[in-house]
Amino acid sequence: MLNDNEAAQIAQVIERLIAHFPAQSPAEIELLVRRIHERFIDARVRDFVPLLVEKAARHTVGVYPIEITGEDPHSAEAMATI
């Protein structure tokens, strides 16, 4: 169950990732974080969920930046993000 504190922490995760990956679409980063967060919906211990979500999202954006943005992998902008 999502409480207000966890919701605020997830919002902070989104803000940090948007700031850390300025070349990525903020909407795509938010969507990614929310999808990862959904995987933890049944977690009984909630204390570390935001940390785990942030770690997974950072890894995903860092490894798969082109797929996250949906850019053409051969465009100049996409190549600059690799």
pLDDT digits (tens, 9 = 90+) for 16-44: 999 999 999 999 999 999 999 999 999 99
Q: What is the pLDDT of residue 15?
A: 98
pTM of this prediction?
Answer: 0.75
More confident residue, 2 or 4: 4
Q: What is the pLDDT of residue 38?
A: 96
- CA nearest neighbour of 22 among 55, 69, 79: 69
